[in-house]
Amino acid sequence: MDKQNSGPDGCGPQARYFSRLDEGVFEIQRCQACEKHQFFPRVLCQHCGSTDLTWVVPGGKGRVYSFSVIRRKPESGGNYNVALIDLDEGVRLMSRVDGIAHEALHIGMDVLARVVTEQGKGLLVFFPEGQK
């Protein structure tokens, strides 16, 4: 496991999250005590403090809450969209939104999660709903 993507000892909820992304699987945590979902992975439920957390695969549907375009030179890969996404499960996370020009991206747009592989690592990216 890449130390950049895990805790100092390569274990814990963050290490599990990144390991599963590398396998092509996107998971979030769900608390068994209060039945709420959370993201980013933690040892305790951010809502009630319980340690009774399980991993679930979310439906992957979400909506753009806010976004920005990161501007880079073409030789550095070009511009890309970064957005805060509200998943149907009630969590908000930051990710890239690919497959759409920044001029067409808008708040409230429906998007779908997909795990892509870049430089040998799994990466969570969103695409406009209905796009293959």
Judged against a pLDDT cut of 90, whether residue 126 lies above it is answered with: yes
Domain boundary among 33, 57, 81: 57
Same domain, 65 and 46: no
Question: Can you give the pTM of this predicted structure?
Answer: 0.86
How many C-beta neighbours within 10 Å does residue 56 have? 12
Q: 49-103, pLDDT tens digit by residue?
A: 999 999 999 999 999 999 999 999 999 888 999 999 999 999 999 999 999 999 9
Lookup: tokens for 43: 């040892």
Structural domain boundaries, residue 32? 1-57
Judged against a pLDDT cut of 80, whether residue 130 lies above it is answered with: yes
103: domain CATH number is 2.40.50.840
Same domain, 131 and 83: yes
Q: Pick from 114, 118, 117, 122: which is nearest to 62 by CA?
A: 114
Q: 20-40, pLDDT tens digit by residue?
A: 999 999 999 999 999 999 999
Lookup: tokens for 15: 């290490």
Judged against a pLDDT cut of 80, whether residue 5 lies above it is answered with: no
Domain count across the chain: 2
CA distances from 53 to 26, 48, 56, 115 (A): 16, 11, 10, 23
